[in-house]
Structures are given as C-alpha cells and as structure tokens.
Structure 1
Amino acid sequence: MAAAERAGTLPPLGWPTRFAFMACAMPELIKSFAWDAFVLFFYAQVVGLDGMLLGAALAIILVFDAVADPYIGALSDRMDRAPLGRRHTLMAAAVVPFAVGIAMVFRVPAGMEQWQIFAWLLGFGLLARVGISFWTVPAYAMGGELTRETGERNIVAVMRNMGNQLAILTVPYVAFAWFFVPGGGYSKPQLNPAPYPDFGLFIAICGAGLMVIGLLGTRARMRAVEQLDQSVASEAPETLPQLFRRLIAAIRTTPNVGLLLLVALLVLFTNSVVNQLTLHLATYFWQLDGSWTPRLLIAGVIGSLVAMFLAPAWMKLVGTRTAMISGLAVFFVLQAGA
C-alpha cells in the first residue's frame, strides 16, 4: 500500500474492506426496522402513552433529526484534522449514544406517569435517532471515498445494498422467532410487554457490534485516503442558516433539484407511514399470527428485490423518464390500496 500511496493512487479495494463497509450500512436499517415497526405500536398499544403526547414526541424527534442530518454532513466534510479523520471521528462518537438510546427506548420503567413516559421517549428517542445519524451520514459519504475507480465504486454500492437487504430480511424473522413468540397469556406476542426490553438490547448490541466491525475494517483504508487528501484545507463548519441558504440557491438555479427533493420526501413519508402502521394492521385488521407477521414486514423488501431485476428491462422498453413516472404511480397506488 505504501508504494501506491507515494504515487498518489490507492491500491485495489480488498474484500475485507468491502465487507466492512457492508457492515457500516447495516446499523441504519436495523434501527429503521426496530423504530418503524415497533416504537409507535409499543408506546400506543403496550405502554399506553396518550396519542397526542406520542405524536408530539415522534414529531419532535423526526424534525430534529431532519435538521441535524445536513449539519452532520457539513461538519464531517470539514473534520480532516480530527483524531480519527473526517468520517471515523463522528462514526466512533455515535456507537455508545445510539446503543444506549435504542435500548432504553424499549425499556420503559413501570409506574411512570404520562408526561414521564413522554419525556422518556423524547430523550432516549433523540439520543438513538441523532446517534445513528452521526453514524450513517459520514458512513455513506465514506462509501464514495473508499475508491476512485468507477468499477470498484459500483461494487461498494452493491455491498451497501446487500447489507441493507440482509438487515431488513433477517431482523423481522429474528424478532418473531426469538422475542415475540406465543405465550404469556397474550393473543398476539407483540402485545406482551415482557420481550421488548430484551429486543431493544438485542438491537443495540447488534447495531453497535456492526459499527465496531465497520470502523475497524475500514480504518486503514480511510487513513490512506485522508493522507492523499492532506493538501485540501479544512474549513469551519457552516451554520444551519448557511446550509439552508445554499439549498434554496441550488433549487432556484436547478429546479429539478427541488422536484427530486419533493419526490423523495413523498416516497419517504409514504414508506414511513406504511411501515409504522403495518404492525397495527397485522394485529387488529388482518389478525395475523406470529408466523405471518414477519412475512408481512419484509414483503416490501421482496418486492424491491424483484423490481431491481425487472427495472433495467422496463427502462430499456419505455425509457428512463416514463419508467420513473410509471414506477412512482404504481408505488403510490399500491401503498394507498394497502
């Protein structure tokens, strides 16, 4: 590696580093499954938090998370002189807050009043969500820096997607095979409060373990990358108003940026609503048992995998623009019909 670095280039990306980056992509999806599938259901149906307080807590957490993400990205870009580099410094700082936050979200003490439960969810929910943002934002940015070869970047993107799909496919089965199992006098295992603390601890340990693997596995590569970029001067992080002014300027200059952001917002909003209501529907509307509930939770993933293979042929047949419009139309119709 030293000879390649002196020449100003990077050596080929090894498979251990590729698998380590795949591990970097998985904590976000593990958190997303646990949060989207269970937090709303747990606090509404198991803990019994008032709907207004629950909605307020979740709204505050989501807004704060959305505002923090761009600032985390701008901060990471300018941390070249940080102890572990511009990416790994924030990623390492995220491990403990995320693990503590997500574990405690599912470990609500008995006998708490409504406002105490609200404060518990808000405090530890913010810790978990912002903690995972400190991991995910620089980790995904790191994916574009691990290599400068187009072919290798495609492999890195594939590894990230493989990590995402592996997390979404396996965690639901683990949840309903190990934790939410029939028994305890409850008609549906997800209504039993007993498994939730252990489930939260499992998510915390699994996510933190993957973070450590990702950090250790990509450290040498990122050290080499940052040594090649030492000539780039670090700048002070932008403030949030500066970031939003740049975003507005980009939308005015290129209207398509605003349209893409709007479409992304609609898709993510729809997905979030469907994911958070799926367990309610499985429990009370469809009355599914423990074997069918995890299948419902991963049905969308199976559909996405099938679409990945069908999309190139459809795009070739009708063109990129028509394929995107038709895909979005079918997506919203199916989600509304569900």
Structure 2
Amino acid sequence: MTEAVAGIQGATRSETAPPPTIWTKLAYGFGSVAYGVKDNGFGYFLLIFYTQVIGLDARLVGLAITTALVFDAISDPVVGYWSDNLRSRWGRRHPFMYASAVPVAASYFLLWNPPEGWSQIALFWYVLVLAVLIRTFITFYETPSSALAPELSADYDQRSSLLSFRYFFAWTGGNAMSVGMFLILFPAFATAAIPNGQFNRDAYSVYGIVASVLIFLAIVVSAAGTHARIIHLKPPPPKRTLTLGKIFKEILETLANRSFIALFLAAMFGAIAAGLSAALSFYFLTYFWGFSPQQNGLITMGVFVSAIIGSTLAPIVTRSLGKKRGAMIIGITAFLGSPMPIVLRLLGVLPENGTPFLFYFVLFTTMFDVGLIICFQILSASMMADLVEQAELKTGRRSEGIFFSASTFIRKMVGGLGVMTATFVLTMAQFPSGAAPGQVPAEALWRLGAFYVPTILTLWMVMMAIISTYKLNRADHEENLRRLAEGQAG
C-alpha cells in the first residue's frame, strides 16, 4: 500500500461533515479582524507615524520593516507544517490560536508607544525588534486560523462563501480603526501647536490601546466560536519518524504543484503592489489630493461599502464564472482602474484641489475599485483552498497549514518591499520629510504621481499574467473529492 493511500485511508473524519452554520462563519470571519487591524496599522500608519511624527528617517523605517519581514517569514512554513501535524485534544489548529492572543496584543501596543528622546539608531532597533515579534506572534494565529477554511467545508462554492466572511471582517476591522483615527482620534488630538491631529503622537498612543484590545478579542472570539467544529476537522497524518530532511521533503512534495506555483508567484508581485499602495495611500489623500482628515475619514468609511461589494460579489462570481475566470476579469478591471484618478490629475483633466466634485469623484471610484480588489482576493484565496485535496491525493496528507503559510510567507517576505518601494518613490519625487499639508511643492506632487502609476501598474499586470497559468477548475475539484471519498471508503 502506498503512503498516499495509507494516509487517505487513515483519515477518521468524513468529507461529508455538516456544512458550517452562519454562526461558525461569523466566528471564523471575525477572527480576521486581528490580522486586518495589524495589517492596516503596518500598511497605512506605521511609515507616516515614524517618519512624520516621530522623525525617524524614512529609509530606516523601510529598512527595519523589510529586515523584520525577512527574519519573520521563516516562521510561516514552520508554523504551517507544525499545525498540520500537531496532535492534541483540541485538534491541530486551536492550541496555536489560543496561545497567540496575549503576545500579539501586547507587542502591538508597544509599537505605537515608542520611548521619547531616543536616537535614530535606537529607534530603528526598536521598530525592527517589535516588527519581528508582532509578525511572528500573529503567524501563530493567522496561519492555523486561515488553514481552517478548507477543513470547515470541502464544497467548491461554500469555500468562497466562507472566505467572503473572512475577508469582509479583515477589511472592515482594519478599516474601522482608520475611520476612528480620522473622524475621532485625529480631531480630538488637534491642538494649537499641532492643528492636524494626524501629526500628534498622543493620537497614536490611544490607537495602540484600542487596536491591541480589538486584536485580543478577535482572536479569542474566533478560536472559541469555532471550537465546537474541532470534532469535524481533519486529523493529523499517521505517526511517522520525522527528520529535518523528511520534513523538507514533505513540504516540497506538497508544494510541487503548477497551480500553486502560479498563485505563489502572483501573490509575490501582488504583495509588493499592495504594500506600495498602502504605504502611499495617505500621502495621496493628504498631500496629493489635499483632503482634510475628515474627508480622509469619509473616504476610508467607503471601504465598509467596498467590503460588502467584494464579499457579496465573490460567491456570485464563483457560481457563474468559476474562480479563475472570475478572478481574471475582476482583477484586470480593478487594477487598471485603481490609478485612473491619479492619471487624470496628471493629465490636467480633474479640477483643482478643494472642489466638491474632486472629493466625490475620488470617493466613489475608490469605493467601487476596492470592492473589486476584495472580490479578487477572496477568489484567489478560494483557489488556494482547492489545492488541498489535489495535494492530498498525491501525498496522503492534509497540508492546509503549508498552503496557507505559503500565502502569509510571501506577504511577509515581499510586502516590506512594497514599503521600501514607496520610500524610493518618495525619494525620486523629492518629497520633503516632515512637511505639513500645503507646504509640498507642486512639482514634487506631480512627480509622486508620475513615478507611482507606472510602478504599480507593472506589478499588477505581471501578477495577472502569472495567475492566468492556474489550472484547477470546478470539475477537477469535484473529481478530487470523489477520488478521496473512494480511498477513504477503502
């Protein structure tokens, strides 16, 4: 009997476990608030906080984040493989989820409360160490938690529905913190000395408290809310003697899949583009478009609508077009449309800053485009989930953790390159450090847009070209489930 067949027949839980209830989906989805809040803070506020508020050189911030990501990325495959093989009375995933709650929340709080009076080098090491700790601790939650998706449902359409909840809460949770910053904290911390509260460090200190509490609650609620499903989750592979060489062999055997390689490489370029877009988002809102903190808050609030659009659209696209075809159509539309307002400004088509039309134009185009991007992300994640059964047929092992750790690995490994790319764009644009809104030369603002647009379009179009080589469709997935069921029946 081959190892693959032995592994399939060794499974003790049926592929026909009861479908997840709405409450299970809500609990599973709500857990992504933790990663959404962390990702939102790192992507949108960390660079501007440490450069414009604390005064740390932008190149040092970018170097700290990128260096931390390189070290931290090692934890992803380790945790993924570990959670695939863990044996405990709480299953393979939940022990990691419960254990991560306090460390993630505590380290995230410290990041937004740096010591005062430290030198540039001391602050660099402070950001670097905390970035490593936060991202490592969040891995112990996010990777096992994400890996639950293929276990909670094997159905082709149901997985897109399940992941829609996860992405809805990830975007909504992170976005709620941004809205709170712009509409509540920044106005509350505006003073005579600092008229724009966006540049008051006390606002970020309060943010650190609120965000840390929310991260803790999201992790605990999700772990407890999916605890009852442990009995229906997949068991670990049969016991075997593991050596370092065998572990690497099993990981490579699992990931040696053409469709996985397509998603992995596409995610690499997508993560760089996302990091670049997030890092410069508020530079464009505050400096390029000249919006007030209140207007920025309203635009950020539009993402709530975007999350509804994306999470509602993804299951519909899955049923009507299939995941790959739908992802291609939605993705190309979204990524070509995203920088269009900036292009129109560079061409002199849009009116001057301060006009009502400009604000509403940016508001509604951003709202719709982000909705399409969220839909694309859900479809891509669902495509990754469908590779689990294909790999199980080949190896006899359930390897959800390895597949989803690959996704977090690539986001961490190259996401910092997006921030680094943003610092290069700022440098090429000769963007002044520490400048208040209205004090940046028009030439620098024009260069900011002119360097940003071709850079991000190139990254996104390369990503779409790679993802077009993904091969698994609905019929293939259902055939994989049928063969697994036959093997399990013996």
TM-score, normalised with respect to structure 2: 0.58
Would you say the 8 A contact 2:30–2:221 is kept in 1?
A: yes
8 Å contact kept, 1:94–1:132 = yes
Q: Does residue 1:75 correspond to 2:82, yes or no?
A: yes
**Residue among 55, 66, 70 paired with 2:73:** 66
Match of 1:3 in 2: none
- 1:31-110 alignment, distance < 5 Å: 31-81=38-88, 84-110=90-116
**Pairing partner for 1:27 from 31, 34, 55:** 34
Greater CA drift, 84-93 or 26-35:
84-93
AA partner of residue 199 (structure 1): Y
1:119-140 deviations in Å (ceiling 9; x for gaps): 1111111111121121111001
Task: Return the offset for 1:316.
Answer: 10
| Distance apart, 1:259 and its partner CA | 3.2
SS in 1 for 2:68: helix
Cα distance per residue 1:200-253 (max 9 Å; x no partner): 11111001011111122222321x135x737843774867992797179726xx
8 Å contact kept, 1:173–1:294: yes
- Of 146-155 and 58-67, the range deviating more from structure 2: 146-155
> What SS is found at the alignment partner of 2:173?
helix
Q: Tell me: CA distance 1:240–1:276, structure 2 relative to 1, closer, same or farther (3 Å).
A: farther
Q: 2:226 aligns with which of 218, 233, 242?
A: 218
Aligned to 2:261: 258
Q: Secondary structure at the match of 2:177?
A: helix
Q: Distance in 2 between matches of 1:22 and 1:167?
A: 10
Cα gap change, 1:239 to 1:79, in 2 (>3 Å): farther
- Contact kept? 2:178, 2:300, Cα under 8 Å: yes
Residue deviations 1:78-104 (CA, integer Å, cap 9, x gap): 1123x6432112112211221112111
Instruction: Summarize the Cα distance change of 1:56–1:225 in structure 2 as closer, same or farther, 3 Å threshold.
Output: same
Alignment of 1:202 onto 2:210: yes
Alignment of 1:288-327 (within 5 A): 288-297=291-300, 302=305, 305-306=308-309, 324-325=327-328, 327=330
Give the aligned partner of residue 275 of structure 1.
278
1:273-306: CA deviation from partner (whole Å, max 9, x where unpaired): 1111112222222221111112344556755654
Question: Structure 1 residues 243, 189: closer, same or farther in 2, change over 3 A?
Answer: farther
Q: Output the CA distance in 2 between the equivalents of 1:172 and 1:95.
A: 22
Offset, 1:258: 3.1
Q: Helix, strand or coil for the counterpart of 2:267?
A: helix
* Partner residue of 1:13 out of 4, 20, 33: 20
For the pair 1:129 / 2:135, whether they are aligned, the reply is yes
2:113–2:208 Cα contact (<8 Å) kept: yes
Q: Following TM superposition, by how much is the alpha carbon of 1:156 offset from its aligned partner in structure 2, in angstroms?
A: 2.7
Q: Which runs of 5+ in 2 are unaligned?
A: 1-11, 343-490
CA distance in 1, matches of 2:310, 2:153: 28
Inter-partner Cα distance in structure 1 for 2:105 and 2:251: 34
SS of aligned partner of 2:152? coil
Residues 1:63 and 1:240: Cα distance change in structure 2 (over 3 Å): farther
- Aligned residue for 1:291, secondary structure, equals helix
Counterpart amino acid of 2:39?
A: S
Question: Tell me, which stretches of 5 or more residues in structure 1 are unaligned?
Answer: 1-5
CA contact 1:70–1:243 (8 Å) conserved in 2: no
Which TM-score applies when normalising by structure 1?
0.81
Contact 1:65–1:130 (8 Å) recurs in 2? yes
Q: Confirm or deny: 8 A CA contact 1:74 1:238 kept in the other structure.
A: no
Residue number in structure 2 paired with 1:116: 122
Distance 1:162 1:119, change over 3 A: same
Residue 33 of structure 1 deviates from its aligned partner by: 1.1
Change (3 A) 1:239 1:218: farther
Residues 74 and 237 in structure 1, CA contact (< 8 A), matched pair in contact too: no
Paired with 1:321 and 1:149, the residues of 2 have a C-alpha distance of: 16
- Return closer, same or farther for 1:313/1:220 CA change in 2, 3 Å cut-off: closer
Across the two proteins, how many residue pairs are aligned to each other?
A: 327
Q: Per-residue deviation at 1:158?
A: 3.3
Q: Deviations over 1:129-161 (max 9, x none)?
A: 121121111001122223456675454333223
Aligned alpha-carbon RMSD (Å): 3.6
Deviation at 1:35, TM superposition (A): 1.4
Instruction: Provide closer, same or farther for how the CA distance between residues 248 and 277 of structure 1 changes in structure 2, counting only shifts above 3 A.
Output: farther
- Alpha carbons 2:165, 2:311 under 8 Å: kept: no
